[in-house]
Chains A and B, each alone.
Chain A
Amino acid sequence: MRQVGPALAVALLGVLAACGGSASTGTTGTATGNTGTTGTASAGSSAGSPAANSCGTGLQITVKGSSVTPPPGTTDVRAGCRVDLTITADRTSEVHVHVIDLEKPITAGQPLQISFTPTQQGVYEVELHDPDLLLVKLAVR
């Protein structure tokens, strides 16, 4: 008991030193307010308009059976920049954007356009339902 405490303290100090050293190599996080997201959705407009603001991201996703093109991965997005998704599926279902809780019905063969501007940092999954398919993950930084 006597010697355990000091040795543990030394060990933990070592850890803290190591972590402190690594902090400079990482990203500099900025605190986001608690205002949530100001998501606006415009569905149905088939004129796949490109990203409105210069920092925006546009993605085209096609679903056939359980195959998603391009294969689901993570796309980096800057907080406050607009995201334009154009999704075409071979079935009538629902598209769900997590975090901003956006759900839009999608009709088989008809492109669905979803636009929103994420402000809350984190990873947002975009899914097609029944059965659930991951379409893309948006890493909002």
Chain B
Amino acid sequence: MTAAGPGGWAAAVPAHGIGGREDLPLPLGWAIAGAAAAVVLSFVLLGLLWREPRLDAAHAGRPLPAGLARLLDAPAFRRVLAGIGLVAAAWTLLALLAGPDDNRNPVPWVVYVLLWVAIVPASVLLGPVWRQLNPLRSVHALLNLALQLDPRDGLRPLPAGFGWWPAAAGILAFAWLELVSPDPAALGTLRTAIAVYCALHLFAAFLYGSPWFDRGDAFEAWSGLYGRISPLGRRGDGVLVLRAPLTGLDGLRPAPGLVATVIAMLSATAFDGLSGSSAWARLVQSHGWSRQAAGTVGLLATALVLGAVFVVCCSIAGAVGGTGPREAPRLFAPSVVPVALGYVLAHYYSFLAVEGQRAFIRLSDPLGTGANWLGTSHLQPSYALATPLIVANVQVAAIVVGHVLGVVVAHDRAVGLFPRARAVIGQLPLLVLMVTLTCLGLFLLFWD
């Protein structure tokens, strides 16, 4: 079912590096219905939604029961989570260094399914989970402990100009590894990528202290930004609260590289759809271009085009609405996060549902010795959750719900920033943006 047997593994690299089956194209009628729903709902929401900003990350929310809050904030609980991250990392390293170089090796599934895709729904439900699990953060903290240093202190302060830029670069680098590099699932590729990643981030963490990870690590940024959708969050006064989903996005302050990061999140998934189409293959093959060169240019071009569309629409909204065109893209960047979530869920749902099972089947025998450490190595993945009907429903629902939530976040920002008389007209360019992104998302699912 998955990629080739031992001999052909390195050469046989299907979609996403692993997993041979792709979803059927979304039927045209479904794509059109989804797009129509998005357009209609946008205008319904514009008239229906609140006139004063309601998403208030600083004050909103009902405190968790005291016992639960104490448990979640207990240092011992944090150490357990960090320990789980370290054990999972050690397990993965074992397979990376000593496992077989064929499709029995679990590392591609750990990296491309669990770390990149499964972390998204986990973060949307629970908040920034990767921050708690991140094994590099723990290794850095333990090394500082051994040296009797404070992990928060680096050799020099983290430059303010960095902002989210390292995370944006990291997200695009990961997308390049998965979608463009010659053999994304080959053990040699993964060894190199993981070694470079670990060396780079430990070096940066010692240089700038542990705050580096917050916005420097692509996986913490990816998990943290999706985690702001979660109903579980922390109020301005530090109290853990349950609150309306999306409220956390209100607490996202404009910073350098934030626009680039949310656009990178969107582009990573959009380019997966684009580069997987036969039209892309026809274009590249008919010109005799190198797959890597065309893929590198295509990925960057996707990010630049989506970024340009976003900046132009936000700038017009800012000019019309009264904040001015310059600041508007940063101020409205949070509204892209739910749209990117819709893209990820639509694009990777069946991949997660099927290959997520295979991850745990492969992890049970990390060395390829016939072991069964988790008791799962003899199982076969079930396709019951990935029938074409379920997949098509999930895809349309994810894109349209992502659109609606993006409109809600943009609306809340707009009524907070724009004077009342201009709040409606100022939002029209944002609606154009959201409808464009939604139609693009549906088109990429429909396009074969």
Cβ-defined contact, A65 with B30, below 8 A: no
Q: B29 contacts A22, CB within 8 Å?
A: yes
Q: How large is the interface on B (under 10, 10 to 19, 20 to 34, 35 or more residues)?
A: 35 or more
Could you tell me if A130 and B11 are in contact, using CB atoms closer than 8 angstroms? yes
Known: A12-B404, A29-B388. A99 touches B44 (CB 8 A): no
Closest chain B CB from A47 CB (angstroms): 27
Q: How long is the Cα–Cα vector from A47 to B285 in the complex, in angstroms?
A: 29
**In the complex, are the beta carbons of B243 and A18 less than 8 A apart?**
no
**Size bin of chain A's contact surface:** 35 or more
Min CB distance, A117 to chain B, in Å? Answer: 16
**Distance A116 CA – B40 CA, assembled complex (angstroms):** 46
- Does chain A have a CB within 8 A of B111? no
* A28 B278 Cβ-Cβ under 8 A: no
- Residues from chain A with Cβ under 8 Å of B36 in the complex: 18
Whether A19 and B384, one on each chain, are in contact in the complex, defined by CB atoms closer than 8 angstroms, is no
- From A3, A4, A11, A27, B404 is in contact (CB under 8 Å) with A11
How far, in angstroms, from A10 to B301 measured CA to CA in the complex? 37
Residue of A nearest to B21 (CB): A122
- Whole-angstrom distance between the Cβ of A40 and the nearest chain B Cβ: 16
Contact status B45-A22, CB under 8 Å = no
B binding-site residues for A, Cβ under 8 Å:
1-5, 8, 11-15, 20-25, 27, 29-30, 33-34, 36-37, 40-41, 44-45, 48-50, 54-56, 60-61, 243-247, 278, 281-282, 285-286, 288, 290-291, 380, 382-384, 387-390, 392-393, 396-397, 400-401, 404-405, 408, 448
30 A-B Cβ contacts within 8 A?
A1-B56, A4-B54, A7-B54, A8-B245, A8-B408, A11-B404, A18-B37, A21-B33, A25-B29, A25-B33, A26-B27, A29-B389, A34-B380, A66-B286, A71-B282, A72-B278, A96-B11, A98-B3, A98-B14, A99-B1, A101-B20, A103-B5, A123-B25, A127-B12, A129-B11, A131-B291, A132-B11, A132-B13, A134-B281, A139-B24
